[in-house]
A and B are shown apart, each in its own frame.
Chain A
């Protein structure tokens, strides 16, 4: 199993550009989520999904869209990138029950100029 795979690992954008961060998991997990981590800080939840076709907002959803058309994939879209979105983005998945552990990807480092 590859676990949670994120692409790209690094990306530089100009203000106003759009892009999609990809996240895929091969563990058949129901729950998937996106976090961002700014320098020296903990992770903050952007969006999450409890199953295919179901998404919800987290702590910092503004400027981001998500969709969950399949169990495996949970892409994060930036429609109009802003310098404030410069961060490291982590995708995570979990089997489903509250006591399940989260499995994180290796992160995608995004810089918006």
Chain B
């Protein structure tokens, strides 16, 4: 699976949009981009995933560049409860149940 690069930490003001970037320059055509988050020491929580097109659900939006070498997770109105470590993962069709977690981005939402 392609590797990802994320900033180690970011701050965001409560109520503002949080934009979390991820670079995956070696991504191949059959690899999806997944985002998970981990609040404190809980089990990771699925947020969203995509292949080529931008995606939106009740939690977030995922913007994937046209060349697919990078993506941005957008939390439109961050709350204090969104403070967590956010993991960007690239996953191939043949990976089965395997997710390769990197260091992630620690997002701190501040009042």
Contact = CB atoms under 8 A, between A and B. Distances in A.
Interface of B is mostly: loop
A19 to B, nearest CB: 20
B32 A99 contact: yes
Contact of B97 (A4, A31, A42): A31
A21 interface: no
Contact of B32 (A49, A88, A94, A98): A98
A86 interface: no
A33 B43 contact: no
Contact of A32 (B32, B92, B97): B97
A95 B95 CA distance: 14
B88 to A, nearest CB: 11
Contacts of B68: none
A99 B93 CA distance: 8
Interface string A77-106: 000000000001010101000110111111
Nearest to B30: A98
B46 A102 contact: yes
Interface string A24-63: 0000000111010000011111001110000010110000
Given A48-B96, A98-B95, A107 B101 contact: no
A102 B44 CA distance: 9
Contact of A88 (B41, B95, B102): B41
Interface of A: 4, 31-33, 35, 41-45, 48-50, 56, 58-59, 88, 90, 92, 94, 98-99, 101-107
